[in-house]
Structure formats: C-alpha cells, structure tokens
Structure 1
C-alpha cells in the first residue's frame, strides 16, 4: 500500500507579492496577517485591510512586507488627511485609524507588553491621556534633501525607501511656521542651484534640515546638515553643520542668529541647544510631567534623583514640590542647558551632574544619601541591567518610570519587582498622534 504524499505549501520568499488580510497590529505599529499559517508583519496596513504586499524579509517563522496596494480598505478606516503628492505622509502611518482606536491600540500594546514580556499583573492600567492636539503638534521635524522628478526635493523618505524623497509642501504634523521655514529653505536651495547629497555617489551638498520651534515663544531653531561646501547665505537663520563622506560631523561651520532656542513648559523657561533632547509635543508633555509629579507624591521635603535628566525639564518641574533634586545626564551639553535653566527660573534646590548614569549613581548616593523618589526617563533601549542594579541600590520607596517603549519598560519593571518593588499604576500618554509611537508613565513602590 502506497504511503500518502503530503504536500507542504512552500514558504514565501523575499520579493514575493501576496494578497493578505490584516487582522491586528503588532508592537511597533505594523499590521499582522497570515498566509497558510505563516505570520507576515505588514508595513502600511491597518487591521481589516486587504492588501497586496511585497515581502522585504523572509525568515523561517515569519516575514516582513510592505503594502503596495490597498485592495479592500478596513470598514473602520478614515480618509487620510496628510498627503504629499497624493501619497500618505510617511510620518503619520496611523492616520487611517480613528483617533479613539489609536488610543485603544496603544493601551492594549502597553498591557500586552507588561503581561506577556514582563510577566506582570496586579497593576492598574489607567485610561490613556489623549494628545492636546491630534494634528500640528510637533515642535521639531527632520527633513531630507533628495531629487524628485528632476528637481531638488525637501521632505520625507518614501515609506520603505532610504533613497527616494517625497517633496513636502504642508505636513499636518508640523505647524504652519515650521512648514513655511522648510519651504523657504527649499526655495533658496533651488534658486542657488545647490544639489542634494547622494550617499551612494558621495556627491552633492545638502543632507538634512532640522526645524525646531518654541511653541510658546515663536522662536525657530533651524539646523542644516551639509557635505563640505560653500554657498550663499540662506534666507533664514541656520545653524550649519558639515558632515564628511562617512557621515561623521566635523563640527559647526558657523551659526547665524541665536544658537539656543527658548521655550516655555510647565510654567518654566527653558534654553534648548541645537542637539539637545526636548519633548516633541510641548502641550502634551506638560500633561506627562503633571502625571509624573502626581505619581511622585511630593510634599516639599523629598530628595529626588532624576536619571537621564536631559536639559532638566522633569527635574525642574518637580523641584518646586521637592526638597532637593539631583539630575544625572550623559550629554554634557544638555547638563549645561539644565544648569542654565535652573538659574533662569530661580530654582536653587536642583543640581545636575554630567556623568554616565551607570557610573554616576553610586557617587551621588554616597554624597547625598538615599533618595525618596527616583525618576527615570531613559531612551528607547530602556535601562541596562547595570542601571537597574544602581536604581535598586538607591533604595527609594518610589520609582517613577517615564517610558517611550513598552517592550523595554516591561523587562525593566520585571527586574525591579524581583528586587521587591511592585508595579502599581501605568498611564499611557499619547505624545504622538497618527503614529504607533507609545509613551507612558509607570509607578513602582515598595
């Protein structure tokens, strides 16, 4: 008797195009679909969409793909508002989701990360704090120069491409002022005949333009990154930075106008250097800091350690309610800003130290004694194991963790619970509407 033959469905390969039904959203914002049991993560697709997608990566257990055609849109989709040359804005991949659904998805992803990755439970997941504005909320945008239809373009990279640049006239994530500055720089570059830099050919001049504004002060800080070249003075004040062929910054070639941006946040004045980190959504950042302050439960006597303090935004906002605040930050330029910001706001109970957080906590602990509250606001990579150990050594009864990545918050919170802390509350704060980026504040106590 012949043995029946089993036919395995061949796995898709790189470059294949598949018709997929997207049923959910993964961490990071990509749609999730299945092809004969094979999981495919699809960029540019939302739950309920039926799309044609091209595979950009094929692994044993999963694949990654880019949607190339929307065959049948989800019934939940809303029309895209931010378009460039008829294409959806690459910076607003979730604009097709109703805003309430965006908040629900972000909340769900935070909970999933904490429960699945962190193996945590018993915490209160509070309702998401919506953004103060759903559109035109960004105080900073970075644009790329390129060639489009034979002309110099200034805008965003086409989704899925690092070589094609979409020209932008009006991005609804940016303010009218930001858009006007970008368009003026492009007009100047086109008029002067200055070419975009081509990384493959290592030829050309213009690389990137960063436009940052003080939402409360109407000041603009504009940073132009170029290859070595000389050209006529631009029509707007630019902080110009030269990069060599390998991308290394050789340093500023000159500063036109004010090098520092002034901004107001949480009833404080801040000086912001060109490369310093500052929350991109000024209005919603105020609410973020209010939530962090509420979690800290300060009475005016506490000692607070502010790790990854940046230019001092959180620390100075807390200093008015604390006995003393000590901030640690790796970037010395940011620490200089923090010290200046304390001075200009008349805050005498805040001190800032330029040091690697891994190395700076122990000396500070020996100098001041145990803090009552530790605030951490790390980059997307979260806290390293060594920094987690230093936080535990502080012995603070309360830790306030400001996170921009729930998939790194989860293991960090798990490590802290193993040391005797308990995750009490988590509050999503939507700093980035129309995008999958997630911010939240977590409280751990022991």
Structure 2
C-alpha cells in the first residue's frame, strides 16, 4: 500500500500518522485508551483495518486561484492556503477521480474561486459523498444563490464522471469556518446518494452526519448491537441519532426504537430511511437530546436499552442524569473522543453504573482519532 503523499510534507494535516507503520498506530491508540479508560474496565484490543487507506466515503475540498488558475484541495493545517491535489490516500479513489472532474468542469465553465477578503468569486468548497457501489453526490458551496452556467457544469461533469448521480448547490454567505450553509438547490438528480450499511439502505445528503469509514462502521455497529443484547422485545432509545443509522440497525431486533436528534434535516432523513427499509417500529423526534431525555425521564419513560452516540464534545451532565433516572438495563455508549468518554464514564460511575468493557475500533487510520464502544450496566 502507498505511504507517501505529495501534500504530506506541505503540512496538509489530514493524515498526521501517515509515516508511522500501521501496527504502531494501533499500539499508540491502545496505549492512549489504556491510560484514559483502563482504570474503569478492561480495554479490548483496537480492531484495525486490513487495508488502512482509501477508506473515506466523504471528501471536503476548497477552491482557490493560484497563478491565475482555479485549483481545489485541502487547506494546509492551520491555514486557508489550499494544497491542490486529487490523489488523497484517505479518500476512496472514486472521490479522487470525482474531485479532478469537478475542477475540470468548473474550469470549462470559467468559474472563479471565492475570495474571502474581496468578497468576489463563485466557488468556496465542494463536498463529495460516495456510496458502496461507487455512485457520488457532488455539492458545490457558493457564497450566494447565483451560479451562472450551472446546467453546462452539470452536463460537463456528468460526461467526465458518469458515476455522479446528483449535483447540489449549497449556499453559505457566512464568514464562519462552517463549510455548509442552510440553503440548498438541487441542480441534478435526487439531491442524495443511496448507501448500504449493515444490510440497510440510507439516503445520504450533503449535510447528513454519516460515518466516513463504511467498513469499520459495520464492525462498530455490530459490536454495539452485540453489547445491547436485544431479544426483539426491548424499548430502545437512540440519542443523538443523526439520520437514524444505529437505531434503524437495532430496530429489527427490538420492540420499538425512539431516535432523538436536534437537526431537523437529519430527523427528516431518518424517517425517510425507516420508510425506505420498511421499518415500522422506529420513530424519530426532533429535539435536543439532553432536553428530550430530561423530559422523558420526568414522565417515567423506562427504556430497556439506551444508545448514546454524542458528538466529539461528549454528552452532558443533565443527559447523563436523565439516563440514570430512566434506569435502563444497558447503556451502550459510542464515542469518537476518548477524553470526553473518560469524563462521561466517570460521571456514570458516580451514579452507580459499571462499565463492563471498552471495545475500540479504528475508524480513522493514519490519524490520531479512534472510536470506542462501552457497555454500562448497574
């Protein structure tokens, strides 16, 4: 497998462990987890990948003008300096080919890169999402709704990259670090790409939260379901559910599933994904997870299993207190940050919960990140 990248020495920052042998990467992650979590419960060996390259099904790249020419690539770490390139070792190869085609099509339309300082130009970023069967959703991020020649762009891109099934314009006029804005226009296709995960189909749009490593996500979800020990009768809560992936994977093995997510677009996608997979025992609530869990605990909702899959910042003390009040038989905590996991596990132990085991899965080879599943019981 390749282990050199033209942008690595230019401080791309996307894969800081690229020059570290993969076995050593896993050992480093194991040691970090053992330090943070080993005092609570046994930490299983990190489950790594057979092929730890080209695993990302999502790419985000930024446009710039360099030497009078439109380019696109990742920012150099800590800067807004674009490193042109479409040969990333982490992204699926279909995404690298798509990125090259997007740049060619944009040049054919004579589109210009957005200049933050002057407030001129058309293109800010592109976001690419790929399915397991090699279909791609292309999103173009622009500062305003104007995109002259968009039909021509779609025609040129489809000719260069016939695997592109949808093209979306996302409008982001803000001067924040957020890539995507809240307004979108579908320029071609359905506005999403269909992916298959754990035997279920999920519609992935530009703003959907969806794990970037499909292969390892299946390992992760199977481990989470194994720890949940569902028999087909349980009431399950999927907190921070996103587009419903964990909850819908659990639904065929549960009595009922309630997913909670504060992003309205994600909740809409989750409900559509339930219908797409003919799952009738799952419902999704648009609410802040902490607020909803507190209200539900106050109404004496007593689920059998709670899945917690919070963002990197972890859960909240109020949410943890609400879960404790619900007294489920099992809590399955899915974490993408060992530090916040250690903090939250400590909070649960103070309430009488016991972490039975930690099961780490390497979803992010070549980086310092690691995903961990923890089973908590009373």
Normalising by structure 2, what TM-score? 0.90
Q: 1:250 to 1:346 in 2, by over 3 A?
A: closer
Which entry has the higher C-alpha Rg, 1 or 2? Answer: 1
In structure 1, the partner of 2:87 is 170
CA contact (8 A) 1:244 1:250 kept: no
CA distance in 2 between partners of 1:255 and 1:292 (Å) = 38
In structure 1, the partner of 2:70 is 152
The C-alpha deviation readout for 1:297-317, integer Å capped at 9, x for no partner, is 112222211101111111111
CA distance in 1 between partners of 2:47 and 2:316 (Å) = 28
CA distance in 2 between partners of 1:296 and 1:145 (Å) = 44
Pick the aligned partner of 2:114 from 179, 197, 201.
197
Question: Structure 2: any 5+ residue segments left out of the alignment?
Answer: 158-165
Residue correspondence of structure 1 range 49-198 to structure 2 within 5 A: 80-84=3-7, 87=10, 89-114=12-37, 121-131=39-49, 133-162=51-80, 164-198=81-115
CA contact (8 A) 1:147 1:165 kept: no
- Whose RCO is larger (CA < 8 A, sep 6+)? 2
CA contact (8 A) 1:379 1:404 kept: yes
In structure 1, the partner of 2:128 is 211
CA distance in 2 between partners of 1:348 and 1:208 (Å) = 38
CA distance in 2 between partners of 1:191 and 1:420 (Å) = 63
The CA deviation at 1:362 is 4.0
Question: Structure 1: any 5+ residue segments left out of the alignment?
Answer: 1-77, 116-120
In structure 2, the partner of 1:392 is 324
In structure 1, the partner of 2:252 is 320
CA distance in 2 between partners of 1:83 and 1:292 (Å) = 38
In structure 2, the partner of 1:220 is 136
CA distance in 1 between partners of 2:30 and 2:194 (Å) = 33
CA contact (8 A) 1:82 1:92 kept: no
Q: Indicate the SS of the match to 1:124.
A: coil
In structure 2, the partner of 1:288 is 220
CA contact (8 A) 2:221 2:246 kept: yes
> Are 1:430 and 2:335 counterparts?
no
The C-alpha deviation readout for 1:165-210, integer Å capped at 9, x for no partner, is 1111311212222111111111122233322112123222211000
The C-alpha deviation readout for 1:236-271, integer Å capped at 9, x for no partner, is 342002222535936224432121221100011112
CA distance in 2 between partners of 1:376 and 1:299 (Å) = 19
Deviates more, 1:419-428 or 1:174-183: 174-183
The CA deviation at 1:99 is 0.4
CA contact (8 A) 2:233 2:255 kept: yes
In structure 2, the partner of 1:242 is 171
The C-alpha deviation readout for 1:298-344, integer Å capped at 9, x for no partner, is 12222211101111111111112222211111112111111121122
Q: Which structure: greater helix fraction?
A: 2
CA contact (8 A) 2:213 2:364 kept: yes
The C-alpha deviation readout for 1:79-117, integer Å capped at 9, x for no partner, is 8423239646531111111101111111211222236xx
Q: Indicate the SS of the match to 1:218.
A: coil
Q: Indicate the SS of the match to 1:340.
A: helix
Q: Which structure: greater strand fraction?
A: 1
CA contact (8 A) 1:263 1:270 kept: yes
CA distance in 2 between partners of 1:303 and 1:133 (Å) = 37
Q: 1:367 to 1:344 in 2, by over 3 A?
A: farther
The CA deviation at 1:386 is 1.4
